[in-house]
A = this chain, B = another copy of it.
């Protein structure tokens, strides 16, 4: 998917964004502070901002069919849940498709017979998502459309959505304030601030920018690599990152590629060689720099090869361990 959007109307903050995402990326994360223009950008992409100049293409189709899920579910109030879905399917490319795929994916099979107006907010959001899928778009834009769903369900839905998207070559743009959801599942990431895309592309790079150049929290890093021979006794994914073996849970892994998102506050540093704690992962690296974030915390930027890792530690710990830039350390963190 590639797009170029320009909006410059009197009385509204201007917006200008150009980005190209690879055909392999099925889930594109978009985040940024409140009021940055995320909704406006999505609306423009969906062709709903009449004053915007917009160019979008997907890899599936040169003039792709785009569906946007608003933060309000906008279920048609005169129809039941099922009728909402049936309506969407009827006008889709394959109007014979079974709805079960979509309802199972969005955990809303049990709501089919309900009146759309009687749903709770989380229920309505799930149905809205199922309806969007039932219309079988080429590009699906989700604007904070999952905020009222509890996190376990939400992650299950995102993960299922990603598998479905991979299978059907759908590209999904997900706007969320939950950066760890995005870091874990997005194939590429974009950061919008005050109407412009300050950074877009590889998740690790955008997270780096996010961590170092913005005042936004949290601070995340991405470790990824090819899966290696699994230990038959445990169901974890073992993978090689910069030549070191790391462990990750299956849910954030897709095919041969394994991904681990680490919150900088979960990373501990030490100078020991042996691991005597339950922190499974140990990653040898070097301190590149240390930046004071507040009088309480500092951010340590660590590097090994092409991989950057952040750790947020207290001044107390730095002093206790005597850490300085250039030191070789072991970064330890759990598998997640």
- For A335, give the chain B residue with the smallest CB separation: B314
Is there an interface contact between B266 and A277, defined as CB atoms closer than 8 Å? Answer: no
Whether, in the assembled complex, A177 has its beta carbon less than 8 Å from a beta carbon of chain B, the answer is yes
Whether, in the assembled complex, A202 has its beta carbon less than 8 Å from a beta carbon of chain B, the answer is no
| A296-B250, A334-B266 as given contacts; A216 in contact with B315, CB under 8 Å | no
Q: List residues 315-332 of chain A with CB under 8 A from any CB of chain B.
A: 315-321, 323, 332
A248 to B250, CA, bound (A): 32
Is there an interface contact between A314 and B278, defined as CB atoms closer than 8 Å? Answer: yes
Whether, in the assembled complex, A311 has its beta carbon less than 8 Å from a beta carbon of chain B, the answer is yes
| A234-B296, A334-B268 as given contacts; A122 in contact with B278, CB under 8 Å | no
Count of chain A residues with a beta carbon within 8 Å of a chain B beta carbon: 69
Is there an interface contact between B216 and A265, defined as CB atoms closer than 8 Å? Answer: no
Copies in the complex: 2
Interface of A is mostly: loop
Is there an interface contact between A280 and B317, defined as CB atoms closer than 8 Å? Answer: yes
Is there an interface contact between B270 and A276, defined as CB atoms closer than 8 Å? Answer: yes
Binary per-residue interface labels of chain A (55-79) against chain B in the complex, 1 for a CB within 8 Å, 0 otherwise: 0000000000000000110000000
Is there an interface contact between A121 and B150, defined as CB atoms closer than 8 Å? Answer: no
A271 to B296, CA, bound (A): 28
Binary per-residue interface labels of chain A (255-285) against chain B in the complex, 1 for a CB within 8 Å, 0 otherwise: 0000000000110111110011111100000
Is there an interface contact between A296 and B235, defined as CB atoms closer than 8 Å? Answer: yes
Is there an interface contact between B34 and A247, defined as CB atoms closer than 8 Å? Answer: no
29 A-B pairs (CB sep. < 8 Å)? A33-B153, A34-B121, A34-B148, A35-B122, A71-B121, A122-B177, A150-B216, A151-B217, A152-B216, A234-B295, A234-B296, A236-B316, A265-B334, A265-B336, A268-B277, A268-B278, A268-B279, A268-B334, A269-B277, A270-B276, A270-B277, A277-B321, A278-B317, A278-B323, A279-B317, A280-B314, A280-B316, A280-B317, A314-B335
What are the 9 tightest A-B residue pairs by CB atom distance, in nearest-first order?
A34-B122, A147-B147, A270-B277, A278-B317, A278-B313, A268-B279, A268-B277, A152-B217, A269-B278
